[in-house]
Amino acid sequence: MNVLKNKLTFISPIAVIAIIFIFSLTLIPSISPAPKEMPVAIVNEDQGATLPNKTDMNMGNTIIENIRSQAIPGQDSPIKWIEVNSFAEVQKGLNEKKYYAALMIPSDFSKNQVSLQTPEPVSPEIQIFLNQGMNPLAANTAGQVLNGMVDGINANVRTQLLEGFEMQGGTITTEQAALLVSPITKTVINVNEIGTKSANGNAPVTMFQPIWMGSIAGAAIIFMTISKTVFRNRKDKLVGVSIQVLLGAVLALIAGFGLTWLASTMLGLNIPKFGDTGLFLSLTYFTFFLMISAVLMWLGIKGIPIFVIMLFFGAPLLAMPPEFMSSFYRDWINSWLPMRHMIEGLRELFFFGKGFGWSHSVQMLTWIGLGSIVVLFGSVFKKGPKEDAAEQ
């Protein structure tokens, strides 16, 4: 049979296996991700206290020392503890996306713990701050670790109190008995909250695919129009490429503000700053459009699979904190993805109260766009088959 004689028949199994293998790799980051070295701040403002036997005690320092002793050199831990000097510094770090969470030991912690053995006990308090806007998954995971740690401290304090009461004859007041259940009060505070109508904090990721696919479609359509045009000389081609860039800018404004409107009305997402979000998405679309157009002008329409593969490899990583990725994905894939700057910029707009300004995300998108423009205009000096035919 002719079918069996066709070499494509024998190549097809290899192609199928290759495709399955490549796209299976895109699933690896989302399968049982384990956190490693998530930055969490700890601030100890405990002033200490004096015990009845005149010895000094500082439970805040004891907690810090216990945390240090649990760190094993050369071994990854879910939490990377960062000691901070003051609560003000913690707040600044949370707003600058340095920490996923923070643990604060207040100045009266030891004093209140000593009071637990007196007739008028006051429950000592530990505060846990979760930086939801930075990444909900990482913040919740860090919160679970911190909650478990405070529960462990509670168990130790409860044991110490029972031993102390037993030494005193076993008599305790009603207030003391009530506090034995949970001697230390744990207060969890969400900062840079994701709020409602945010797709559980994944609104930035939700808006990525429409922009990415729209930029591919826009760049491909305009490229095909340009490629069918016969340019007599480089000047004409320069004009053609300039028109291509201008059309991309128009499409960017339509796509940016159009998606912002659709997200707020049809998808029901909470868009805090409509104008700023529209401008940022327009910049994002324009950057992606220029990048894709530059590749197409040099490689032709066969360059499209590059950006489809980027979508499949990049999409699973966008909602995932870098600390949850393997070193390969974190260093060699995530760090090179241009779309991650879109997600970071939208998080700042949605959850950190920032507007459209010269932020790190805007800077990176701008530089990628400018680099793409240079490559795009560089294609003016590349001769195509139609130009060669026209010269003949």
- pLDDT score of 1: 47
- pLDDT score of 53: 74
Distance, CA of 204 to CA of 318 (rounded, Å) = 9
Q: Which residue has the higher pLDDT, 193 or 5?
A: 193
Task: Read off the pLDDT of each residue in 153-159 and give the average, rounded to a whole number.
Answer: 82
Q: pLDDT category, 213, cuts 50, 70, 90? A: very high
Domains and CATH numbers, the chain: 38-191 (3.40.1710.10), 203-391 (no CATH)
In three-state secondary structure terms, 131 is strand
Cβ atoms < 10 Å from Cβ of 159: 10
Q: Could you tell me if 102 and 128 are in contact, meaning their C-beta atoms sit under 8 angstroms apart? A: yes
Q: What is the pLDDT of residues 46-96, one digit of tens each?
A: 998 887 777 788 888 988 888 888 766 666 788 999 999 999 999 999 999
pLDDT at 374 over 70: yes
Cβ atoms < 10 Å from Cβ of 365: 24
DSSP run (H or E) holding 125: strand 125-131
Structure tokens of 349? 């707009």
Most confident of 7-21, 25-39, 176-190, 205-219: 205-219
Q: Could you tell me if 139 and 100 are in contact, meaning their C-beta atoms sit under 8 angstroms apart? A: yes
Distance, CA of 109 to CA of 271 (rounded, Å) = 40
DSSP code string of 73-87 = TTS--SEEEEEES-H
Task: Read off the pLDDT of each residue in 116-128 and give the average, rounded to a whole number.
Answer: 86
- pLDDT score of 248: 97
- pLDDT score of 293: 97
The residues, ordered by sequence, that sit 6+ positions from 43 with a Cβ below 8 Å of its Cβ are: 83, 84, 85, 86, 87, 89, 90, 102, 103, 104, 105
Q: What is the pLDDT of residues 356-373, one digit of tens each?
A: 999 999 999 999 999 999
